[in-house]
Amino acid sequence: MLEDIKKVLVDALDIDENLITPDARLKEDLDIDSLAAVELSLELETEFDVQIEDEELEKLVTVQDIIDIIKEKQA
């Protein structure tokens, strides 16, 4: 799952793959602002066939949070 998330982050937002770890913080470590977060959410929804609500998006702080929400929605 982490590798799939990395691919989306690298392809959609041009983030250095070496910075992407489960505990990397989206805003502080990966420089994902609110506009990039919306773009990321759309890419994740397409890639993983899930729906991420705005309220859920606001709660995502780390890469692990993304992994957790996708796993939860795919269950």
Rounded to an integer, what distance in angstroms lies between the CA atom of residue 28 and that of residue 18? 15
Q: What is the pLDDT of residue 39?
A: 95
Q: Is 54 a catalytic residue?
A: no
Residues in contact with 64: Cβ distance below 8 Å, sequence separation at least 6, in sequence order: 22, 23
Q: What is the pLDDT of residue 42?
A: 97
Q: What is the pLDDT of residue 55?
A: 94
Single pTM value for the model: 0.94
Q: What is the pLDDT of residue 57?
A: 94
Domains by residue range for the chain, with CATH: 2-74 (1.10.1200.10)
Please pick, among 11, 33, 49, 54, the residue that the annotation labels catalytic.
33
pLDDT digits over 18-75, tens only? 999 999 999 999 999 999 999 999 999 999 999 999 999 999 999 999 999 999 999 9
